[in-house]
Amino acid sequence: MVETKKSVAPKAPKGHVVVNTERCKGCGFCAQFCPTGVLAMSKGFNLKGYHPPIVADAAKCSGCDLCGMYCPDFAIYGVKNGRKPGGGDL
Amino acid sequence: MSESYEATVTDPVSAPMTCDSNPVEDWLRMDRMPHIWCPGCGIGTSVNCFTRAIEESSLDRKNIAIVSGIGCTGRVAGYLLLDSFHTTHGRALPFATGLKLASPKTKVVVYSGDGDLFAIGGNHFIHAARRNLDMTVLCVNNFNYGMTGGQVAPTTPEFAIASTTPYGSVERPFNLPYLAQSCGAVYVARWTVYHVKQLQRSIREALEKPGFTFIEMVAPCPTLFVRRNRLGDGLAALESYEENAVIKNGADTRECDLGMGGPIVCGKFVDIDRPSYLSNQVAHLRKVLGDRYVMPDAWQGVVE
């Protein structure tokens, strides 16, 4: 059987991240270790003068919360869409 | 926690914002935030792994007490929203011992740094492990005394630079898993803070296992140890852990020394069963004293 190429509608992302930019100290762990490359470090500053992360490619986010596990300042977390932060049902 | 702060939702795609607070905040004393740890410090990451491990475990949060000594890692007890003791320098284990004897139903966790647990409190560590007291010891190893300015510690690798050894330390450091195993710990593991998932699973196993369980968590001290030894920043240190880590479960702990730039052997090294101090004491006194033995009230129904 020959597979034909279909135009596929862009998939909805599986999750999203929430950043508390004012608590961030700009260590860069989240952006470096994000398994799908969602995050990048911003060129802008927060009030303390650190560069917080920004979402560079939201569509790739799987909501795995690895950024939340790495963040030493408790400033970011990932959520699977349709789930509560930490994993429970909505 | 009903702390109000600016939370920025950075999701442009429409995912509904489900909660405005980080799940880890349930476990933190938010009035104490922001914490004192430097940018790129690994202690916060280890705290994340710890809170998630408790969440996943079968433990009742009201029954956990966390005991810390002094130092950067010693602050953990003050930041966690659990029963906590911030004790004198090096004496976290004696406080924890008293706590466990007075209230055996409490799960006692000692969360402290390498200087506190192995230099000032080294003696207490070997005896707590020897007795097999039922507690979990989590040691954040950042290879120096962070809070006081980066002095050489018993875990500083050979030839590494610290503020008191400007030409490099010539002392042989402790190999913490080997020390813990030879003193009698029933569970010994080592992970770096790069290995968050493995560390979380390991902490959960240690919390659920009866007896003296020990986990070494290798973490960067970006302001002192990492900077003085020209290893970059905290992020560069984590990348070097990724590169140098060798995961070897069940490895011989004698071969787990840490050197500058050498391999970091990670994994679960020891997982054995041995009767704990309390159950040993009760069994022995019952045998010797027979009916004359009266168990303390707080131990009833907890110690077999």
In a domain, B30, yes or no: no
pLDDT for residue A85: 80
CATH topology assigned to domain A15-80: Alpha-Beta Plaits (3.30.70)
Co-location of B236 and B100 in the same domain: yes
Chain centre distance of CA A86: 14
**Domain boundaries along the sequence of chain A:** 15-80
In a domain, B237, yes or no: yes
How far does B212 lie from chain A, in Å, by closest CA?
26
Co-location of B53 and B154 in the same domain: yes
Contact flag A19-B52 (C-beta cutoff 8 Å): no
Tell me, yes or no, if A13 comes closer than 8 A to chain B by beta carbon: yes
Co-location of B152 and B291 in the same domain: no
Co-location of B129 and B74 in the same domain: yes
**What total of structural domains would you count in chain B?**
2
Residues (pLDDT < 50) of chain B are 1-19
Q: Which two tokens stand for residue B208?
A: 């659920």
How far does B107 lie from chain A, in Å, by closest CA?
23
pLDDT classification of A2: cutoffs 50, 70, 90:
low
Co-location of B208 and B284 in the same domain: no
In a domain, B10, yes or no: no
Contact flag A19-B197 (C-beta cutoff 8 Å): no
Q: Which of residues 217-236 of B touch A (CB under 8 A)?
A: 222, 233-235
pLDDT for residue B5: 39
Co-location of B120 and B54 in the same domain: yes
Helix (H, G, I), strand (E, B) or coil at A69: helix
Co-location of B141 and B170 in the same domain: yes
In a domain, B12, yes or no: no
Tell me, yes or no, if A81 comes closer than 8 A to chain B by beta carbon: yes
pLDDT for residue B268: 95
Domain CATH code at residue B151: 3.40.50.970
In a domain, B5, yes or no: no
Question: What residues of A are in contact with residue B194 (Cβ under 8 Å)?
Answer: 33
Tell me, yes or no, if A78 comes closer than 8 A to chain B by beta carbon: no
Mutate to test the interface with B, among A11, A21, A29 (most CBs of B within 10 A): A29
pLDDT digits (tens, 9 = 90+) for A35-89: 999 999 999 998 989 999 999 988 889 989 999 999 999 999 999 888 888 777 7
How many angstroms separate the CA atoms of A81 and A18, rounded? Answer: 12
Co-location of B130 and B253 in the same domain: yes
pLDDT surpassing 80 at residue A8? no
Co-location of B50 and B183 in the same domain: yes
pLDDT for residue B23: 85
Helix (H, G, I), strand (E, B) or coil at A21: helix
User: For residue B301, what are the domain limits?
Assistant: 275-304
How many angstroms separate the CA atoms of A23 and B16, rounded? Answer: 22
Residue from the list A16, A66, A72 with its beta carbon closest to the beta carbon of B44? A72
Tell me, yes or no, if A50 comes closer than 8 A to chain B by beta carbon: yes
Contact flag B22-A79 (C-beta cutoff 8 Å): no
How far does A79 lie from chain B, in Å, by closest CA?
8
Tell me, yes or no, if B39 comes closer than 8 A to chain A by beta carbon: yes
Written as one string, the DSSP assignment of chain B is ------PEE--TT-PPP--SS-GGGGGB-GGGPSPSPPTT-SHHHHHHHHHHHHHHSS--GGGEEEEE-SSTGGGHHHHBSSEEEE-STT-HHHHHHHHHHH-TTSEEEEEEEHHIIIIITHHHHHHHHHHT-SEEEEEEE-SEETTTT-EE-TTPPTT--BTTBTT---SPPP-HHHHHHHHT-SEEEEEETT-HHHHHHHHHHHHHSSSEEEEEEE---TTTHHHHTT---HHHHHHHHHHHEEE-TT--GGG----TTS-EEEEEEEE-----HHHHHHHHHHHHHGGG----GGGTTT--
**For residues A34 and B10, is the Cβ–Cβ distance under 8 A?**
no
Contact flag A20-B6 (C-beta cutoff 8 Å): yes
Co-location of B123 and B211 in the same domain: yes
Contact flag A84-B42 (C-beta cutoff 8 Å): no
